[in-house]
Structure formats: C-alpha cells, structure tokens
Amino acid sequence: MSIQYILELIGTAVFAMSGALAVSERDREQDWFGAAFTGFVTAIGGGSLRDIMLGSYPLVWIQDTTVLYVIFASILASGLFYKWMLQLRRTFQLFDTMGIAIFTVVGMEKALELGTSPEVAAIMGMFSAVMGGVIRDTLTNEVPVLFRQEIYASACLVGASFYLGLEYLQVERNISFIASMLLIIIIRLVAIKFNLSLPKFNRQP
C-alpha cells in the first residue's frame, strides 16, 4: 500500500467529516441523509473533477470501494462524536486544512504520473484540494471559502511548488510528501490565526 493511497484515504475521510459537520452546524434539524450526501460529495468532489479533467477513468471511488467505506465510516463517526469533532473543526478549521494539504500533494502526484507538465500538475493539485470545499459551501448556502478574503487556494499552490522544487532536487518522495503537506498546513493555520489575506483585486484608489 503506497503512501499516496494512504494519504488519499485520509484526505477523503477528513473531507467527508468536514462536509457532514458543515451541514449539522448550519441546520441542526438536518437528517442523516442530508449530512451523508453533503459529506459524500465533499469527499469525492475535488478528486472526481481532477480525474475527469485528466481523462483518468474509472473515477477513484468507482474503481475502489474502499473509498466508499472510508467515506461512510467518517460520516458515521461525525454523527456519533458530533460535539467533539465539531470543536476540532472550529479549532483552526482543522479538517478542511488537513484535507487541502493532503489532496494538493496527492492530486499533483497523480497528474505527474499521467504525464502532465509540472505547471499543470500544480493546478490539478489545487483543484483536487479546493473543489470539494467549494461544493460543500455551495450546498450549505455559504459563500465558498475560495471566494472569501482568505489564504486558501494560494497556500495549495505554494505547497505544490515546494513539492516540485523538492522533486527537482531529488529529495526522497515520502519526505517531499510530508514536507509539502506540512507547509500548506502551516501557511493556512498562520493565515487563520493572524487573519492574513491576499491584496484585494478591486482596491479603490
């Protein structure tokens, strides 16, 4: 079992939890099906869009039913341990941060394996990371985090570029994986902690 596969399962799990908890936090009367649906779509959204754009079929969750079991187990755990997990989610948006870090590196690595250029691979990594969250926020009637004044997708691009740099220097693959993910997590947590953001596009003179 490769580290890429393990990380993809972990990323799938944390995004499934993030989606399920987002529904529960938004609407406390929401039933299990609504939470499960949002968690499922959040978990598979980014990876599915990545695979479609890369022409990689069948999609991961269709080819490997282990992914489905991980999603359903994560949603179940979110419901059973709701209060504790919701507290974790609110602490620096833990699950979302872990998810984007993992999926950035996993998505980029898959793109590289399919023969794309490094630049395209970095973009595919970002897409893998952020689109699940965009779908989650849209379904829960929130402004997608991608469009808020936060350092989010840009953290993924920095981490992806760092991974490509380590690969160019021929750093051992597992070290590159872990170091790049840690960099994304650190950037995201620091940005949340100190309310950092990129300059506005339409700044008034």
Question: What confidence tens digit (pLDDT) does each residue in 111-156 have?
Answer: 999 999 999 999 999 999 999 999 999 998 888 888 887 789 999 9
Other C-beta atoms closer than 10 Å to the C-beta of 195 total: 9
Between these two residues, 1 and 114, which has the higher pLDDT value?
Answer: 114
Q: What is the pTM of this model?
A: 0.88
User: Taking the alpha carbons of 107, 109, 114, 119 in that order, is the dihedral positive or negative?
Assistant: positive
d(CA 8, CA 12): 6
Of the pLDDT bands very low, low, confident and very high (cuts 50, 70, 90), residue 204 is low
Question: What confidence tens digit (pLDDT) does each residue in 30-43 have?
Answer: 688 988 999 999 99
| Percent residues over pLDDT 70 in the chain | 92
